[in-house]
Structures are given as structure tokens and as C-alpha cells.
């Protein structure tokens, strides 16, 4: 556990911070995957609760075409090994390239109507 800071709040230890960063990265990649494969919209993601109630986690630069490559690279890591997701993402990437829609993520992102999270 972390030590208390001047305000009496518990500070996270270095290892706790690393674990938290890893968890947020994983949640961002799952959200990115769900958006790319069409299982989730930006609006649905905004309304969804994250594991910590912290909101909308997405990979950095997610509105760019390179995002699909980032997702494939992440899910192909030996410690992740989610090859089914990689295969699905590769098919989507190939389709986007074949149809000249490489900037489709940017279009979707730019056309999203951003609204405040709904109160429960």
C-alpha cells in the first residue's frame, strides 16, 4: 500500500501506479477494438461505465488510420495473445485498404456528436 500524503490521502506506490497504467491501457485497447469492429459506438462508450468509473479510455491518437495497426500490435503481444481479435482487425484493415477507406476512423471520430455523460 502507498503512504499518506500531506492531505491525509493514500498515495499509490510505484508498482500500484504501474498496474493502474497497465489496466487503463488494456481498457483503452478493448474499447478501441470494440469501436473498430462495430460492437460499440463512441456514444455508447461515453455512456458506459469503466471499471473504475473513470470514463472514456481510448488509445492515444485513436482517430487516426494507424489505430488499427496499434490494436493489432497490442493484441499480438506474447503476454496478451488475443489472436482472434488480431485476425478480425487484420481483415478490417485489409478491407479498408482495398476499398480506399483508410481514413474511415477519422471520419467516424470527426462526425461523432459529443454529449455529456448521462446521469444515472
Residue 10 DSSP SS3: strand
The Cα–Cα gap between 42 and 48 comes to: 10
Longest dimension (CA), the chain: 58
Residue carrying C-alpha cell 455512456: 47
Per-residue pLDDT at 11 exceeds 90: no
Q: What is the pLDDT of residues 44-86, one digit of tens each?
A: 877 776 555 556 777 776 766 678 889 999 999 999 999 999 9
Residue 57's contacts (CB-CB under 8 Å, 6 or more residues apart) are 24, 27, 28, 31, 50
The Cα–Cα gap between 29 and 25 comes to: 6
Q: What residues does each domain of the chain span?
A: 14-110
Query: Taking a C-beta distance cutoff of 8 angstroms, is the pair 23, 14 a contact?
Result: no
The Cα–Cα gap between 37 and 116 comes to: 24
Q: Which residue has the higher pLDDT, 8 or 1?
A: 8
Amino acid at each position: 500500500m502507498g503512504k499518506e500524503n500531506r492531505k491525509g490521502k493514500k498515495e499509490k506506490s510505484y508498482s500500484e501506479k504501474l498496474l493502474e497504467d497497465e489496466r487503463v491501457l488494456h481498457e483503452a485497447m478493448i474499447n478501441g477494438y470494440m469501436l473498430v469492429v462495430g460492437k460499440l459506438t463512441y456514444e455508447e462508450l461515453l455512456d458506459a461505465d469503466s471499471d473504475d468509473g473513470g470514463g472514456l479510455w481510448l488509445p492515444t491518437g485513436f482517430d487516426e488510420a494507424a489505430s488499427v495497426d496499434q490494436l493489432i500490435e497490442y493484441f499480438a503481444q506474447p503476454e496478451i495473445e488475443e489472436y482472434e481479435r488480431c485476425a478480425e482487425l487484420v481483415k478490417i484493415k485489409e478491407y479498408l485498404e482495398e476499398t480506399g477507406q483508410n481514413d474511415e476512423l477519422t471520419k467516424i471520430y470527426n462526425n461523432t456528436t459529443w454529449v455529456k455523460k448521462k446521469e444515472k
